[in-house]
Amino acid sequence: MKTVLATLALSTLAVAVGAAAVVYSGIIDVGADSPHSAPLHTVLEATRERAVAVRARDIEVPTLGSAEQIRSGAGNYAAMCVGCHLAPGVAPSELSQGLYPAPPRLAEASGHDNPAASFWIIKHGIKSTGMPAWGRFMEDQYIWSLVAFLEQLPSLTPQEYQALVNSSDGHQHGGGEDDTHGTSGAHHAEGPPPTESHQPAQPEAHRHADGSDHAH
């Protein structure tokens, strides 16, 4: 028995030392432009899916699909999500192409059949993916409106998507909203025209190595 325990202890120590050596050697490439190996990607994806499923299974899903929910979800989606997840008629962005794992294109996805899982992901985010925990800033009712909108998103044309965004109240989710995330296509309430002493700032030109530029 002592021999077995000693063998187990030595094996555990050897694994720990080996793992420490790998970590401190820096051999693992953490660059976002270097994809995981296929086996590691499979393990990580299965881990994520099971973790979400287990935590979402007791969430009670309210009635979804009202016009007001969908309009509200459209406004927040355009303000908070479109830069990464895109939308009908929205071309891939620098952000969406630079992230790894690549954020899913939700207008092309068909995996919105589990609203509880969608709610949990939006509320709590996913570690090491770039998906924020929006529940730190959004009340649950606005998260559910986003879920309701996501269920409709794959069926929308670019014109229908923009019409919903334009009919929404824009970026609003119970307080704490800011403009630090992507707002491509977002609808903003019209305000008074700028006075002579408060002219809007000119967009900053951003030039790339290939000579292309655009304004932020």
Task: Report how far residue 87's alpha carbon sits from residue 153's, in angstroms, rounded to the nearest whole number.
Answer: 8
Mean pLDDT, contiguous 10-residue spans, the chain (216 residues): 78 81 83 90 94 97 97 97 96 93 88 89 95 95 97 96 96 79 43 38 49 50
Cα separation, 215 vs 205, in Å, equals: 5
Q: For the whole model, what pTM was predicted? A: 0.77
Instruction: Give the per-residue pLDDT at 113.
Output: 83
Output the pLDDT for position 202: 42
Close Cβ partners of 167 (under 8 Å, ≥ 6 residues apart): 71, 74, 187
The H-assigned helical ranges of 58-157 are: 67-80, 82-85, 94-98, 115-124, 140-152
Cis omega (within 30 of 0) for bond into 101: yes
The CA-CA-CA angle for residues 43, 77, 125, to 5°, reads: 30
Q: What is the pLDDT of residue 142?
A: 97
pLDDT of residue 196: 37
DSSP class of 215: E
